[in-house]
A and B are shown apart, each in its own frame.
Chain A
Amino acid sequence: MHTNEKQIAVRYALQAFLEPRQLDQAMNIWHGNYADKPTFALQGFVRECSVLFSLENSRNDMYLSLVQHLSTIKMHPKHGTIDMPSPVAINAAPSRAMLTDKSKATEQYEPESVKAFTVLKMVIEQLFGLSGSAAAGEIRTYLQNNLASLQLPKQTSNTLKNWLSGKAIDNDLLEMTVPAMRRLVTLAYVALCEHFGPVRADGILDGAIRYVSQTIPGRRFHPQKLL
Chain B
Amino acid sequence: MKFIITVLFSLFPQCVWAGPESVPSVEAIDTIWVATACCLIFLMQAGFAFLESGMTRTKNAVNVIMKNYLDCCYGGLVFWLVGFGIMFGSNPTGWIGIDHFAPSLMSHWEYTQLLFQMMFAATATTIVSGAMAERTRYSGYLIGAIVISGLIYPVFGSWAWGGMFGSNGWLKEMGFIDFAGSTVVHSIGGWCSLAGVMIVGPRLGRFGSKGEVRNIPGHNLLLVALGAFILWFGWFGFNGGSTVKADVTIGKIILNTHLAGCSGAVGIATLLLVMRKPVLLTTVLNGSIGGLVAITAGCATMEVPLAILTGLLAGILVYFGAAFIQKLGLDDAVDAITVHGMCGIWGTLAAGMFYTDNMFDLGIIGVQLIGILAAFAWGFGCSLLMYTLLHKVVGLRSDALHEQRGLDFTEHAELGYPEFQQIETHNRSEIR
B10 on the A face (CB < 8 A):
no
Q: Are A183 and B205 in contact (CB under 8 A)?
A: no
What are 7 A-B contacts defined by CB distance under 8 Å?
A186-B404, A189-B204, A195-B205, A199-B217, A222-B427, A224-B424, A227-B427
Q: Are A183 and B401 in contact (CB under 8 A)?
A: yes
Q: Are A198 and B206 in contact (CB under 8 A)?
A: yes
Instruction: List B residues 23-63 near A (Cβ within 8 Å).
Output: 57
A20 on the B face (CB < 8 A):
no
A172 on the B face (CB < 8 A):
no
Q: Are B400 and A227 in contact (CB under 8 A)?
A: no
Q: How far is the CB of A195 from chain B (nearest CB, A)?
A: 8
Instruction: List B residues 374-432 near A (Cβ within 8 Å).
Output: 400-401, 404-405, 422-429
Q: Are B404 and A199 in contact (CB under 8 A)?
A: no
Q: Are B205 and A196 in contact (CB under 8 A)?
A: yes
Instruction: Give chain B's interface residues, CB within 8 Å of chain A.
Output: 57, 203-206, 208-209, 214-217, 400-401, 404-405, 422-429
Determine the residue in chain A with the shortest Cβ distance to B212: A197
A27 on the B face (CB < 8 A):
no
Instruction: List A residues 100-141 near B (Cβ within 8 Å).
Output: none
Q: Are B429 and A224 in contact (CB under 8 A)?
A: yes
A74 on the B face (CB < 8 A):
no
A19 on the B face (CB < 8 A):
no
Instruction: Give chain A's interface residues, CB within 8 Å of chain B.
Output: 182-183, 186-187, 189-190, 192-199, 201-203, 205-206, 209-210, 222, 224-225, 227
Q: A201 CA to B204 CA in the complex, in Å?
A: 10
Q: Are A198 and B203 in contact (CB under 8 A)?
A: yes
Q: A3 CA to B336 CA in the complex, in Å?
A: 68
Q: Are A206 and B427 in contact (CB under 8 A)?
A: no
Q: Are A198 and B214 in contact (CB under 8 A)?
A: yes
Q: Are A199 and B215 in contact (CB under 8 A)?
A: yes
Apart from the given pairs A206-B423, A224-B428, 20 other A-B contacts in the complex at a CB distance below 8 Å = A182-B401, A183-B401, A186-B401, A186-B404, A190-B204, A193-B204, A193-B205, A194-B204, A199-B217, A201-B204, A201-B205, A202-B423, A205-B404, A205-B423, A206-B422, A210-B424, A224-B426, A225-B427, A227-B424, A227-B426
Q: Which residues of chain A are near B428, meaning CB under 8 Å?
A: 224
Q: Are B208 and A197 in contact (CB under 8 A)?
A: yes
Q: Which residues of chain B are near A182, meaning CB under 8 Å?
A: 401
Q: Are A189 and B404 in contact (CB under 8 A)?
A: yes
Q: Are B427 and A224 in contact (CB under 8 A)?
A: yes
Q: Are B215 and A186 in contact (CB under 8 A)?
A: no
Determine the residue in chain A with the shortest Cβ distance to B404: A189
Q: How far is the CB of A128 from chain B (nearest CB, A)?
A: 17
Q: Are A198 and B424 in contact (CB under 8 A)?
A: no
Q: Are A189 and B400 in contact (CB under 8 A)?
A: yes
Q: A183 CA to B400 CA in the complex, in Å?
A: 9
Secondary structure of the B side of the interface? loop
Q: A202-B423, A203-B423, A227-B424 are in contact. Are A197 and B405 (CB under 8 A)?
A: no
Q: A187 CA to B400 CA in the complex, in Å?
A: 8
Q: Which residues of chain B are near A222, meaning CB under 8 Å?
A: 427, 429
Q: A201 CA to B404 CA in the complex, in Å?
A: 9
Interchain CB contact (< 8 A) of A205 among B57, B422, B425, B427 = B425
Q: A199 CA to B214 CA in the complex, in Å?
A: 9
Q: Which residues of chain A are near B422, meaning CB under 8 Å?
A: 206
Determine the residue in chain A with the shortest Cβ distance to B217: A199
Q: A199 CA to B400 CA in the complex, in Å?
A: 15
Q: A201 CA to B217 CA in the complex, in Å?
A: 14
Q: How far is the CB of A148 from chain B (nearest CB, A)?
A: 15
Q: Are B426 and A197 in contact (CB under 8 A)?
A: no
Q: A197-B214, A198-B204, A199-B214 are in contact. Are A190 and B423 (CB under 8 A)?
A: no
Q: Are A197 and B404 in contact (CB under 8 A)?
A: no
Q: A196 CA to B400 CA in the complex, in Å?
A: 16
Determine the residue in chain B with the shortest Cβ distance to A194: B205
Q: Which residues of chain A are near B405, meaning CB under 8 Å?
A: 227
Q: Which residues of chain B are near A203, meaning CB under 8 Å?
A: 423
Q: Are A227 and B404 in contact (CB under 8 A)?
A: yes
Q: Which residues of chain A are near B206, meaning CB under 8 Å?
A: 197-198
Q: How far is the CB of B397 from chain A (nearest CB, A)?
A: 13
Q: Are B216 and A198 in contact (CB under 8 A)?
A: yes
Q: A79 CA to B145 CA in the complex, in Å?
A: 67
Determine the residue in chain A with the shortest Cβ distance to B59: A202
Q: How far is the CB of A201 from chain B (nearest CB, A)?
A: 6
Q: A189-B404, A190-B400, A227-B404 are in contact. Are A197 and B423 (CB under 8 A)?
A: no
Q: Which residues of chain B are near A224, meaning CB under 8 Å?
A: 424, 426-429
Q: Which residues of chain A are near B216, meaning CB under 8 Å?
A: 197-199
Q: Which residues of chain A are near B209, meaning CB under 8 Å?
A: 194
Q: How far is the CB of B320 from chain A (nearest CB, A)?
A: 24
Q: Are A206 and B401 in contact (CB under 8 A)?
A: no
Q: How far is the CB of B46 from chain A (nearest CB, A)?
A: 27
Q: A224 CA to B409 CA in the complex, in Å?
A: 14
Q: How far is the CB of B132 from chain A (nearest CB, A)?
A: 16
Q: Which residues of chain A are near B426, meaning CB under 8 Å?
A: 224, 227
Q: A224 CA to B431 CA in the complex, in Å?
A: 13
The 6 closest A-B pairs by CB, nearest first: A193-B205, A197-B214, A193-B204, A198-B205, A206-B423, A224-B427
Q: A203 CA to B424 CA in the complex, in Å?
A: 9
Q: A205 CA to B217 CA in the complex, in Å?
A: 18
Q: Are B423 and A227 in contact (CB under 8 A)?
A: no
Q: How far is the CB of B58 from chain A (nearest CB, A)?
A: 10
Q: Which residues of chain A are near B215, meaning CB under 8 Å?
A: 197, 199
Q: Are A202 and B425 in contact (CB under 8 A)?
A: yes
Q: Are B400 and A186 in contact (CB under 8 A)?
A: yes
Q: Are B205 and A206 in contact (CB under 8 A)?
A: no
